[in-house]
């Protein structure tokens, strides 16, 4: 992970390249950002393609090098892993916030020891988590996060698109969607189906994850740009 002082120069360079078009959309056009472009949903066709890995590293890369605060939201509530991957102990989070109107956003946000980097963990598992994610409260929360804090980038680690419908709903409410594609395992048919589920999203980009062999030689290691 791209924590401060990390020695992974190649990974840092990869994520610098990955975040560039996303950051460009924050200030695109004649100085006007795409509506809601500070809300970025990271998803994939199926589990295990690298959503959490990419969401965390994208968030850390932005917090380190972009002049905005970054909030990483764990919305993969059936398989939450942001907090454990970061070594954070989380008691409450997104699901508690959605289920209980008495809880305030500031009660469940976790400040980290990394500057400008805050985490909203998934929260306590609940039987109605799918309904909560797809429901009106979630929409309100997204709108509030994106509009009340225009200077904040919100990165959402979403569920995968094909096994459930929640990720589609989240994606349609985001200004930017990032599709993680596992270079070694995701078939074209699966990918086409996944892109089909979010065809109404205007701004979809993708990351080819775990690429290897000849493709790799044409990446940052090739020596162009950074
Ligand atoms: N580019 C990568 N380099 C190294 N490890 C990776 C990479 N992408 C994913 N992983 C690892 O693969 C496993 C599955 O990735 P994860 O991000 O948990 O997938 P998802 O969140 O989509 O289910 C994790 O252990 C993760 O750290
Ligand atoms: Mg995950």
**Cα(166)–Cα(170) distance, rounded to whole angstroms?**
6
Question: Does residue 52 line the site of ligand 1, with CB under 6 A?
Answer: yes
Give the pLDDT band (50/70/90) at residue 224.
very low
Is the pTM of the predicted complex or chain greater than 0.85? Answer: yes
Position 33 scores a pLDDT of 65
- Tokens 């991957």: give the residue: 85
Q: How many CA atoms lie within 13 A of 108 on its CB side?
A: 25
Give the pLDDT band (50/70/90) at residue 30.
low
Distance 125 CA to ligand 2 centre (A): 15
Distance 31 CA to ligand 1 centre (A): 35
Question: Under the phi-then-psi rule, with left for phi > 0, alpha for psi from -120 to 50, and beta for the rest, what region is 216?
Answer: alpha
Using the atom order of ligand 1, give the atom closest to the CA of residue 56.
Answer: 17
Give the tens place of pLDDT for each residue, 165-177: 999 999 999 999 9
Using the atom order of ligand 1, give the atom closest to the CA of residue 81.
Answer: 18
Question: Does residue 49 line the site of ligand 1, with CB under 6 A?
Answer: yes
Domains of the chain: residue spans and CATH: 36-222 (3.40.50.300)
Give the tens place of pLDDT for each residue, 35-54: 689 999 999 999 999 999 99
């Amino acid at each position: 992970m791209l924590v401060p002082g990390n020695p992974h120069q190649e990974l840092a360079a990869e994520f610098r390249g990955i975040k560039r078009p996303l950051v460009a959309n924050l200030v695109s056009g004649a100085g006007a950002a795409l509506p809601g472009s500070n809300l970025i949903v990271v998803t994939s066709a199926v589990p295990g393609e690298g959503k959490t890995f990419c969401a965390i590293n994208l968030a850390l890369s932005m917090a380190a090098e972009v002049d905005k605060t970054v909030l990483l939201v764990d919305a993969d509530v059936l398989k939450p892993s942001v907090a454990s991957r970061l070594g954070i102990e989380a008691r409450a989070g997104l699901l508690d916030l959605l289920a209980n109107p008495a809880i305030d956003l500031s009660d469940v946000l976790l400040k980290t020891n990394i500057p400008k980097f805050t985490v909203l963990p998934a929260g306590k598992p609940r039987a109605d988590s799918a309904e909560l994610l797809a429901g009106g409260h979630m929409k309100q929360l997204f709108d509030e996060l994106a509009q009340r804090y225009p200077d904040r980038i919100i990165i959402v680690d979403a569920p995968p698109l094909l096994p459930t419908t929640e990720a589609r709903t989240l994606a349609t409410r985001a200004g930017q969607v990032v599709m993680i594609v596992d270079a070694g395992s995701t078939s074209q048919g699966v990918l086409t189906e996944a892109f089909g589920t979010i065809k109404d999203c205007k701004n979809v980009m993708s990351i080819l994850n775990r690429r290897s062999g000849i493709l790799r030689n044409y990446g940052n290691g090739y020596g162009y740009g950074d």
